[in-house]
Structure 1
Amino acid sequence: MITQPQTTPAPDPYLERLRVQTARLLAYRDDGPLVAALRGKVGPGLPPVPATLAALLVVVAMAAAGLLGEGPILVVPALVVLVLVLPTAARDHLGKLDWLVPPLIRATEFLTIILVGLAAEAPKWLLFVLLYVVGYHTYDTVYRTRQSIWPPDWVFKAGLGWELRLLLIGVGAALGVATWVVAALTLYLGVLFAVESVTSWVRLDKASALAQAGDDLEASPEEAMEQATGEAETA
Protein backbone atom coordinates (compact mmCIF):
# COMPACT_ATOMS: atom_id res chain seq x y z
CA MET A 1 0.00 0.00 0.00
CA ILE A 2 1.39 3.32 -1.10
CA THR A 3 0.72 6.23 1.24
CA GLN A 4 1.08 9.89 0.55
CA PRO A 5 3.78 11.69 2.55
CA GLN A 6 2.38 13.54 5.53
CA THR A 7 2.89 17.28 5.42
CA THR A 8 2.92 19.41 8.54
CA PRO A 9 0.49 22.31 8.19
CA ALA A 10 2.10 25.71 8.37
CA PRO A 11 1.38 27.53 11.62
CA ASP A 12 -1.13 30.33 11.49
CA PRO A 13 0.88 33.59 11.25
CA TYR A 14 -1.47 35.43 13.61
CA LEU A 15 -1.35 32.72 16.28
CA GLU A 16 2.42 32.47 15.92
CA ARG A 17 2.76 36.23 16.40
CA LEU A 18 0.62 36.04 19.56
CA ARG A 19 2.72 33.15 20.87
CA VAL A 20 5.96 35.08 20.35
CA GLN A 21 4.46 38.23 21.87
CA THR A 22 3.40 36.35 24.99
CA ALA A 23 6.76 34.60 25.30
CA ARG A 24 8.61 37.90 25.05
CA LEU A 25 6.48 39.68 27.64
CA LEU A 26 6.82 36.77 30.06
CA ALA A 27 10.59 36.82 29.57
CA TYR A 28 10.71 40.58 30.12
CA ARG A 29 8.83 40.17 33.43
CA ASP A 30 11.87 38.30 34.80
CA ASP A 31 9.82 36.03 37.03
CA GLY A 32 11.81 33.80 39.34
CA PRO A 33 11.37 30.33 40.82
CA LEU A 34 8.67 31.37 43.30
CA VAL A 35 6.42 32.79 40.58
CA ALA A 36 7.12 29.77 38.36
CA ALA A 37 6.08 27.42 41.16
CA LEU A 38 2.85 29.29 41.97
CA ARG A 39 1.80 30.43 38.48
CA GLY A 40 -0.53 27.50 37.96
CA LYS A 41 -2.04 27.72 41.44
CA VAL A 42 -3.55 31.22 41.40
CA GLY A 43 -6.54 30.51 39.18
CA PRO A 44 -7.25 32.96 36.34
CA GLY A 45 -4.95 35.55 37.89
CA LEU A 46 -5.31 39.30 38.28
CA PRO A 47 -5.41 41.82 35.40
CA PRO A 48 -1.69 42.54 34.86
CA VAL A 49 -1.67 46.30 34.30
CA PRO A 50 -4.07 47.39 37.10
CA ALA A 51 -2.54 45.02 39.66
CA THR A 52 1.05 46.02 38.90
CA LEU A 53 0.17 49.70 38.86
CA ALA A 54 -1.60 49.29 42.21
CA ALA A 55 1.54 47.69 43.69
CA LEU A 56 3.64 50.61 42.49
CA LEU A 57 1.21 53.16 43.94
CA VAL A 58 1.07 51.37 47.31
CA VAL A 59 4.86 51.46 47.61
CA VAL A 60 4.89 55.15 46.73
CA ALA A 61 2.09 55.87 49.22
CA MET A 62 3.94 54.07 52.02
CA ALA A 63 7.07 56.12 51.37
CA ALA A 64 5.11 59.39 51.11
CA ALA A 65 3.33 58.65 54.38
CA GLY A 66 6.65 58.09 56.13
CA LEU A 67 5.84 54.48 57.01
CA LEU A 68 9.21 53.13 55.92
CA GLY A 69 11.13 53.58 59.12
CA GLU A 70 12.95 50.57 60.51
CA GLY A 71 12.23 47.07 61.64
CA PRO A 72 9.61 44.63 60.26
CA ILE A 73 7.76 47.39 58.36
CA LEU A 74 10.55 47.33 55.77
CA VAL A 75 9.51 43.92 54.48
CA VAL A 76 5.93 45.06 53.86
CA PRO A 77 6.58 46.71 50.44
CA ALA A 78 8.04 43.46 49.10
CA LEU A 79 5.05 41.50 50.43
CA VAL A 80 2.60 43.97 48.88
CA VAL A 81 4.31 43.73 45.50
CA LEU A 82 4.39 39.94 45.75
CA VAL A 83 0.69 39.63 46.64
CA LEU A 84 -0.45 41.97 43.85
CA VAL A 85 1.97 41.11 41.03
CA LEU A 86 2.50 37.35 41.42
CA PRO A 87 -1.11 36.47 40.43
CA THR A 88 -0.73 38.43 37.18
CA ALA A 89 1.74 35.83 35.87
CA ALA A 90 -1.14 33.45 35.12
CA ARG A 91 -2.55 35.79 32.44
CA ASP A 92 -1.72 35.43 28.73
CA HIS A 93 -0.52 39.07 28.45
CA LEU A 94 -2.33 39.61 25.16
CA GLY A 95 -4.27 42.70 26.21
CA LYS A 96 -3.75 45.96 24.35
CA LEU A 97 -1.91 47.52 27.29
CA ASP A 98 -0.19 44.41 28.64
CA TRP A 99 3.08 45.52 27.05
CA LEU A 100 3.24 47.96 29.99
CA VAL A 101 3.55 45.14 32.52
CA PRO A 102 7.33 44.47 32.25
CA PRO A 103 8.34 48.15 32.60
CA LEU A 104 5.87 48.57 35.47
CA ILE A 105 7.33 45.53 37.25
CA ARG A 106 10.85 46.82 36.73
CA ALA A 107 9.91 50.31 37.95
CA THR A 108 8.22 48.83 41.02
CA GLU A 109 11.21 46.61 41.75
CA PHE A 110 13.74 49.42 41.36
CA LEU A 111 11.70 51.90 43.41
CA THR A 112 11.21 49.37 46.20
CA ILE A 113 14.92 48.58 46.28
CA ILE A 114 15.78 52.28 46.47
CA LEU A 115 13.21 53.20 49.14
CA VAL A 116 13.82 50.16 51.36
CA GLY A 117 17.58 50.35 50.89
CA LEU A 118 17.74 54.02 51.81
CA ALA A 119 15.46 53.48 54.80
CA ALA A 120 17.80 50.72 55.98
CA GLU A 121 20.81 53.03 55.38
CA ALA A 122 22.42 50.82 52.74
CA PRO A 123 25.16 52.64 50.77
CA LYS A 124 23.72 54.54 47.84
CA TRP A 125 26.50 53.46 45.48
CA LEU A 126 25.81 49.80 46.32
CA LEU A 127 22.12 50.20 45.54
CA PHE A 128 23.07 51.84 42.24
CA VAL A 129 25.32 48.92 41.32
CA LEU A 130 22.54 46.43 42.09
CA LEU A 131 20.12 48.36 39.90
CA TYR A 132 22.73 48.44 37.14
CA VAL A 133 23.21 44.66 37.31
CA VAL A 134 19.47 43.97 37.13
CA GLY A 135 19.11 46.57 34.38
CA TYR A 136 21.87 44.92 32.36
CA HIS A 137 20.10 41.57 32.67
CA THR A 138 16.87 43.18 31.44
CA TYR A 139 18.64 44.81 28.48
CA ASP A 140 20.39 41.55 27.59
CA THR A 141 17.09 39.66 27.66
CA VAL A 142 15.34 42.22 25.44
CA TYR A 143 18.19 42.34 22.94
CA ARG A 144 18.44 38.55 22.71
CA THR A 145 14.73 37.97 22.17
CA ARG A 146 14.65 40.59 19.43
CA GLN A 147 17.35 38.55 17.70
CA SER A 148 15.22 35.41 18.23
CA ILE A 149 17.77 34.15 20.77
CA TRP A 150 16.01 33.10 23.97
CA PRO A 151 17.88 32.99 27.28
CA PRO A 152 17.60 29.58 28.98
CA ASP A 153 14.98 29.18 31.68
CA TRP A 154 17.57 28.39 34.32
CA VAL A 155 18.95 31.94 34.07
CA PHE A 156 15.67 33.43 35.30
CA LYS A 157 15.44 30.89 38.11
CA ALA A 158 19.07 31.34 39.14
CA GLY A 159 18.57 35.11 38.95
CA LEU A 160 15.90 34.70 41.66
CA GLY A 161 13.38 36.88 39.83
CA TRP A 162 11.99 40.20 41.01
CA GLU A 163 10.02 38.47 43.78
CA LEU A 164 12.90 36.78 45.63
CA ARG A 165 15.21 39.75 45.12
CA LEU A 166 12.68 42.04 46.81
CA LEU A 167 11.96 39.56 49.59
CA LEU A 168 15.65 39.09 50.37
CA ILE A 169 16.26 42.84 50.53
CA GLY A 170 13.11 43.41 52.59
CA VAL A 171 13.99 40.71 55.12
CA GLY A 172 17.60 41.93 55.26
CA ALA A 173 16.42 45.48 55.92
CA ALA A 174 13.99 44.33 58.59
CA LEU A 175 16.79 42.44 60.34
CA GLY A 176 19.24 45.33 60.08
CA VAL A 177 21.62 43.61 57.64
CA ALA A 178 20.48 45.28 54.42
CA THR A 179 24.00 46.33 53.40
CA TRP A 180 25.31 42.78 53.61
CA VAL A 181 22.31 41.35 51.75
CA VAL A 182 22.54 43.94 48.97
CA ALA A 183 26.29 43.39 48.65
CA ALA A 184 25.94 39.60 48.44
CA LEU A 185 23.03 39.85 46.01
CA THR A 186 24.91 42.31 43.80
CA LEU A 187 28.02 40.15 43.67
CA TYR A 188 26.08 36.96 42.98
CA LEU A 189 23.85 38.43 40.27
CA GLY A 190 26.73 40.35 38.67
CA VAL A 191 28.83 37.22 38.25
CA LEU A 192 25.85 35.11 37.14
CA PHE A 193 24.49 37.49 34.49
CA ALA A 194 27.90 38.55 33.19
CA VAL A 195 29.32 35.04 32.81
CA GLU A 196 26.15 33.60 31.27
CA SER A 197 25.74 36.49 28.85
CA VAL A 198 29.35 36.48 27.68
CA THR A 199 29.54 32.71 27.22
CA SER A 200 26.23 32.67 25.33
CA TRP A 201 27.32 35.37 22.89
CA VAL A 202 30.72 33.72 22.42
CA ARG A 203 29.04 30.42 21.54
CA LEU A 204 26.74 32.25 19.14
CA ASP A 205 29.68 33.96 17.42
CA LYS A 206 31.51 30.64 17.08
CA ALA A 207 28.41 29.00 15.58
CA SER A 208 28.03 31.87 13.11
CA ALA A 209 31.70 31.64 12.16
CA LEU A 210 31.46 27.87 11.59
CA ALA A 211 28.35 28.31 9.48
CA GLN A 212 30.07 31.00 7.44
CA ALA A 213 33.12 28.76 6.98
CA GLY A 214 30.87 25.94 5.81
CA ASP A 215 29.22 28.23 3.27
CA ASP A 216 32.65 29.29 2.00
CA LEU A 217 33.77 25.66 1.57
CA GLU A 218 30.63 24.85 -0.41
CA ALA A 219 31.15 27.78 -2.76
CA SER A 220 32.53 27.03 -6.23
CA PRO A 221 36.02 28.33 -7.21
CA GLU A 222 34.36 30.84 -9.53
CA GLU A 223 32.15 32.19 -6.71
CA ALA A 224 35.11 32.38 -4.34
CA MET A 225 37.14 34.27 -6.95
CA GLU A 226 34.25 36.62 -7.65
CA GLN A 227 33.79 37.30 -3.92
CA ALA A 228 37.51 37.91 -3.43
CA THR A 229 37.62 40.23 -6.44
CA GLY A 230 34.66 42.19 -5.17
CA GLU A 231 36.21 42.57 -1.74
CA ALA A 232 39.48 43.74 -3.29
CA GLU A 233 37.71 46.33 -5.42
CA THR A 234 35.80 47.56 -2.37
CA ALA A 235 39.04 47.93 -0.44
Structure 2
Amino acid sequence: MITQPQTSPVPDPYEERLRIQTARLLAYRDDGPLVMALRDKVGPGLPPVPAALAALLAIVAMAVSGMLDEGPVLLVPVLVMVALVLPTVARDHLGRLDWLMPPLIRTIEFLTIILIGLAADAPKWLLFVLIYVIGYHTYDTVYRTRQSIWPPDWVFKAGLGWELRLLLIGAGAAFGVLTWVLAALTLYLGVLFAIESVTSWVRLDKQSALAQAGDDLEASPEEAMEQATGEAEPA
Protein backbone atom coordinates (compact mmCIF):
# COMPACT_ATOMS: atom_id res chain seq x y z
CA MET A 1 0.00 0.00 0.00
CA ILE A 2 1.45 3.32 -1.09
CA THR A 3 0.75 6.22 1.21
CA GLN A 4 0.97 9.85 0.31
CA PRO A 5 3.70 11.82 2.11
CA GLN A 6 2.37 13.84 4.99
CA THR A 7 2.86 17.57 4.54
CA SER A 8 2.63 19.99 7.40
CA PRO A 9 0.00 22.70 6.89
CA VAL A 10 1.35 26.03 5.76
CA PRO A 11 0.63 28.66 8.43
CA ASP A 12 -1.55 31.54 7.40
CA PRO A 13 0.74 34.57 6.84
CA TYR A 14 -1.65 36.94 8.61
CA GLU A 15 -2.05 34.70 11.65
CA GLU A 16 1.70 34.13 11.78
CA ARG A 17 2.32 37.87 11.71
CA LEU A 18 -0.14 38.37 14.57
CA ARG A 19 1.51 35.60 16.55
CA ILE A 20 4.96 37.16 16.16
CA GLN A 21 3.58 40.62 16.98
CA THR A 22 2.00 39.34 20.19
CA ALA A 23 5.17 37.46 21.17
CA ARG A 24 7.27 40.57 20.65
CA LEU A 25 4.98 42.82 22.68
CA LEU A 26 4.88 40.30 25.53
CA ALA A 27 8.68 40.08 25.47
CA TYR A 28 9.01 43.87 25.46
CA ARG A 29 6.77 44.09 28.54
CA ASP A 30 9.51 42.30 30.51
CA ASP A 31 7.07 40.52 32.82
CA GLY A 32 8.62 38.59 35.67
CA PRO A 33 7.76 35.38 37.53
CA LEU A 34 4.89 36.93 39.49
CA VAL A 35 3.06 38.09 36.35
CA MET A 36 3.76 34.79 34.61
CA ALA A 37 2.40 32.82 37.56
CA LEU A 38 -0.83 34.87 37.64
CA ARG A 39 -1.34 35.18 33.87
CA ASP A 40 -4.02 32.49 33.75
CA LYS A 41 -5.64 33.52 37.04
CA VAL A 42 -6.77 37.09 36.34
CA GLY A 43 -9.77 36.29 34.19
CA PRO A 44 -10.27 38.31 31.00
CA GLY A 45 -7.86 40.96 32.25
CA LEU A 46 -7.96 44.73 31.89
CA PRO A 47 -7.61 46.71 28.64
CA PRO A 48 -3.83 47.24 28.42
CA VAL A 49 -3.42 50.88 27.40
CA PRO A 50 -6.27 52.39 29.52
CA ALA A 51 -5.08 50.46 32.59
CA ALA A 52 -1.48 51.60 32.12
CA LEU A 53 -2.54 55.22 31.59
CA ALA A 54 -4.66 55.05 34.75
CA ALA A 55 -1.66 53.78 36.72
CA LEU A 56 0.56 56.52 35.28
CA LEU A 57 -1.94 59.28 36.11
CA ALA A 58 -2.47 57.92 39.63
CA ILE A 59 1.28 57.86 40.34
CA VAL A 60 1.77 61.36 38.93
CA ALA A 61 -1.14 62.60 41.06
CA MET A 62 0.49 61.11 44.18
CA ALA A 63 3.75 62.88 43.40
CA VAL A 64 2.12 66.24 42.62
CA SER A 65 -0.02 66.14 45.75
CA GLY A 66 3.05 65.52 47.94
CA MET A 67 1.75 62.18 49.10
CA LEU A 68 5.08 60.46 48.47
CA ASP A 69 7.01 61.54 51.53
CA GLU A 70 8.71 58.66 53.33
CA GLY A 71 7.94 55.40 55.05
CA PRO A 72 5.36 52.78 54.04
CA VAL A 73 3.50 55.24 51.80
CA LEU A 74 6.31 54.85 49.26
CA LEU A 75 5.04 51.33 48.58
CA VAL A 76 1.65 52.68 47.42
CA PRO A 77 2.63 53.68 43.83
CA VAL A 78 4.16 50.24 43.32
CA LEU A 79 0.98 48.54 44.50
CA VAL A 80 -1.09 50.79 42.23
CA MET A 81 0.98 49.84 39.19
CA VAL A 82 0.92 46.13 40.02
CA ALA A 83 -2.85 46.18 40.63
CA LEU A 84 -3.62 47.93 37.34
CA VAL A 85 -0.94 46.63 34.96
CA LEU A 86 -0.57 43.00 36.05
CA PRO A 87 -4.11 42.00 34.91
CA THR A 88 -3.41 43.34 31.40
CA VAL A 89 -1.12 40.39 30.66
CA ALA A 90 -4.20 38.21 30.03
CA ARG A 91 -5.07 40.22 26.91
CA ASP A 92 -3.80 39.25 23.43
CA HIS A 93 -2.20 42.70 22.81
CA LEU A 94 -3.60 42.87 19.29
CA GLY A 95 -5.50 46.11 19.74
CA ARG A 96 -4.77 49.10 17.55
CA LEU A 97 -2.93 50.92 20.35
CA ASP A 98 -1.58 47.95 22.29
CA TRP A 99 1.89 48.54 20.84
CA LEU A 100 2.06 51.43 23.33
CA MET A 101 2.02 49.01 26.27
CA PRO A 102 5.75 48.22 26.51
CA PRO A 103 6.89 51.88 26.44
CA LEU A 104 4.16 52.76 28.93
CA ILE A 105 5.35 50.05 31.31
CA ARG A 106 8.97 51.23 31.02
CA THR A 107 7.88 54.83 31.55
CA ILE A 108 5.90 54.00 34.68
CA GLU A 109 8.66 51.75 36.00
CA PHE A 110 11.38 54.38 35.53
CA LEU A 111 9.18 57.17 36.86
CA THR A 112 8.30 55.14 39.95
CA ILE A 113 11.96 54.33 40.60
CA ILE A 114 12.89 58.01 40.33
CA LEU A 115 10.03 59.26 42.51
CA ILE A 116 10.63 56.68 45.23
CA GLY A 117 14.39 57.19 45.10
CA LEU A 118 14.12 60.97 45.41
CA ALA A 119 11.55 60.75 48.20
CA ALA A 120 13.77 58.33 50.14
CA ASP A 121 16.88 60.43 49.45
CA ALA A 122 18.68 57.57 47.67
CA PRO A 123 21.92 58.31 45.76
CA LYS A 124 20.95 59.78 42.40
CA TRP A 125 23.83 58.10 40.59
CA LEU A 126 22.60 54.72 41.81
CA LEU A 127 19.13 55.43 40.44
CA PHE A 128 20.71 56.36 37.10
CA VAL A 129 22.79 53.17 36.93
CA LEU A 130 19.81 50.97 37.74
CA ILE A 131 17.69 52.63 35.07
CA TYR A 132 20.58 52.26 32.60
CA VAL A 133 20.87 48.52 33.35
CA ILE A 134 17.14 47.96 32.84
CA GLY A 135 17.22 50.09 29.70
CA TYR A 136 20.10 48.05 28.31
CA HIS A 137 18.15 44.85 28.90
CA THR A 138 15.15 46.35 27.08
CA TYR A 139 17.31 47.45 24.13
CA ASP A 140 18.97 44.02 23.94
CA THR A 141 15.57 42.30 23.90
CA VAL A 142 14.22 44.57 21.15
CA TYR A 143 17.36 44.19 19.02
CA ARG A 144 17.32 40.41 19.30
CA THR A 145 13.65 39.91 18.49
CA ARG A 146 13.91 42.16 15.44
CA GLN A 147 16.41 39.61 14.11
CA SER A 148 14.19 36.66 15.14
CA ILE A 149 16.52 35.81 18.02
CA TRP A 150 14.43 35.31 21.16
CA PRO A 151 15.94 35.60 24.64
CA PRO A 152 15.29 32.48 26.75
CA ASP A 153 12.38 32.57 29.19
CA TRP A 154 14.67 32.11 32.19
CA VAL A 155 16.23 35.55 31.53
CA PHE A 156 12.91 37.29 32.17
CA LYS A 157 12.31 35.21 35.29
CA ALA A 158 15.83 35.76 36.62
CA GLY A 159 15.54 39.46 35.78
CA LEU A 160 12.59 39.57 38.21
CA GLY A 161 10.38 41.53 35.81
CA TRP A 162 9.12 45.06 36.33
CA GLU A 163 6.75 43.92 39.09
CA LEU A 164 9.26 42.27 41.44
CA ARG A 165 11.87 44.95 40.82
CA LEU A 166 9.40 47.64 41.87
CA LEU A 167 8.09 45.63 44.82
CA LEU A 168 11.64 45.22 46.13
CA ILE A 169 12.35 48.93 45.68
CA GLY A 170 9.06 49.92 47.33
CA ALA A 171 9.67 47.58 50.25
CA GLY A 172 13.22 48.86 50.63
CA ALA A 173 11.96 52.44 50.78
CA ALA A 174 9.21 51.53 53.23
CA PHE A 175 11.68 49.92 55.63
CA GLY A 176 14.40 52.56 55.21
CA VAL A 177 16.95 50.37 53.42
CA LEU A 178 16.42 51.58 49.86
CA THR A 179 20.08 52.38 49.15
CA TRP A 180 21.13 48.83 50.00
CA VAL A 181 18.29 47.37 47.93
CA LEU A 182 19.19 49.56 44.95
CA ALA A 183 22.87 48.63 45.19
CA ALA A 184 22.16 44.88 45.41
CA LEU A 185 19.54 45.01 42.64
CA THR A 186 21.78 47.03 40.32
CA LEU A 187 24.75 44.72 40.83
CA TYR A 188 22.68 41.57 40.38
CA LEU A 189 20.85 42.74 37.26
CA GLY A 190 23.99 44.28 35.74
CA VAL A 191 25.96 41.04 36.05
CA LEU A 192 23.01 38.90 34.91
CA PHE A 193 22.08 40.89 31.82
CA ALA A 194 25.67 41.60 30.77
CA ILE A 195 26.90 38.00 31.01
CA GLU A 196 23.78 36.53 29.36
CA SER A 197 23.82 39.07 26.54
CA VAL A 198 27.54 38.70 25.79
CA THR A 199 27.51 34.89 25.88
CA SER A 200 24.42 34.75 23.66
CA TRP A 201 25.90 37.02 21.00
CA VAL A 202 29.26 35.21 21.10
CA ARG A 203 27.46 31.89 20.68
CA LEU A 204 25.51 33.31 17.76
CA ASP A 205 28.72 34.59 16.11
CA LYS A 206 30.31 31.15 16.46
CA GLN A 207 27.29 29.48 14.90
CA SER A 208 27.38 31.95 12.01
CA ALA A 209 31.09 31.33 11.54
CA LEU A 210 30.59 27.54 11.52
CA ALA A 211 27.77 27.87 9.00
CA GLN A 212 29.95 30.09 6.82
CA ALA A 213 32.80 27.59 7.07
CA GLY A 214 30.47 24.80 5.98
CA ASP A 215 29.41 26.83 2.96
CA ASP A 216 33.06 27.51 2.10
CA LEU A 217 33.87 23.77 2.12
CA GLU A 218 31.23 23.23 -0.55
CA ALA A 219 32.57 26.02 -2.73
CA SER A 220 35.03 25.45 -5.55
CA PRO A 221 38.67 26.56 -5.07
CA GLU A 222 38.07 29.46 -7.44
CA GLU A 223 34.99 30.61 -5.49
CA ALA A 224 36.83 30.29 -2.18
CA MET A 225 39.72 32.36 -3.54
CA GLU A 226 37.31 34.96 -4.88
CA GLN A 227 35.57 35.23 -1.49
CA ALA A 228 38.91 35.52 0.28
CA THR A 229 40.53 38.07 -2.01
CA GLY A 230 37.51 39.75 -3.54
CA GLU A 231 38.90 39.05 -7.00
CA ALA A 232 38.49 36.10 -9.31
CA GLU A 233 41.60 34.24 -10.42
CA PRO A 234 42.52 35.00 -14.02
CA ALA A 235 41.68 32.21 -16.45
TM range (shorter): over 0.9
TM-score, normalised on structure 1? 0.97
Instruction: Name 1:52's counterpart in structure 2.
Output: 52
Give the conservation status (yes or no) of the 8 Å contact 2:25–2:93. Answer: yes
Give 1:220 shift. 1.6
Instruction: Name 2:99's counterpart in structure 1.
Output: 99
CA RMSD of aligned residues (A): 1.2
SS across alignment from 2:144? helix
Distance 1:85 1:225 in 2: 58
1:69-148 matches, within 5 Å, as 69-148=69-148
Give 1:9 shift. 1.6
1:208 and 2:208 matched = yes
Instruction: Name 2:178's counterpart in structure 1.
Output: 178
Distance 1:57 1:86 in 2: 16
Moved over 6 A (4+): none
Instruction: Name 1:40's counterpart in structure 2.
Output: 40
Give 1:232 shift. 7.6
Distance 1:14 1:95 in 2: 15
CA-to-aligned-CA distance 1:53-97 (integer Å, 9 cap, x gap): 111111100000000011110000000000000000000000000
Distance 1:165 1:231 in 2: 55
Q: Which AA in structure 1 matches 2:159?
A: G
Give the conservation status (yes or no) of the 8 Å contact 2:222–2:232. Answer: no
1:189 and 2:189 matched = yes
Q: How many residues align?
A: 233
Instruction: Name 1:7's counterpart in structure 2.
Output: 7
Instruction: Name 1:162's counterpart in structure 2.
Output: 162
Instruction: Name 1:199's counterpart in structure 2.
Output: 199
Gaps of 5+ in 2: none
Cα 1:229/1:196, change in 2 over 3 Å = closer
TM-score, normalised on structure 2? 0.97
Distance 1:39 1:59 in 2: 24
Gaps of 5+ in 1: none
1:19 and 2:15 matched = no
Distance 2:225 2:68 in 1: 71
| Aligned residues with identical type, % of pairs | 85
Q: Which AA in structure 2 matches 1:199?
A: T
SS across alignment from 1:225? helix
Cα 1:204/1:228, change in 2 over 3 Å = closer
Distance 1:56 1:146 in 2: 28
Q: Which AA in structure 2 matches 1:204?
A: L
Cα 1:231/1:180, change in 2 over 3 Å = farther
Q: Which AA in structure 1 matches 2:42?
A: V
Distance 2:46 2:180 in 1: 34
Give 1:231 shift. 4.3
Distance 1:179 1:146 in 2: 36
Give 1:113 shift. 0.2
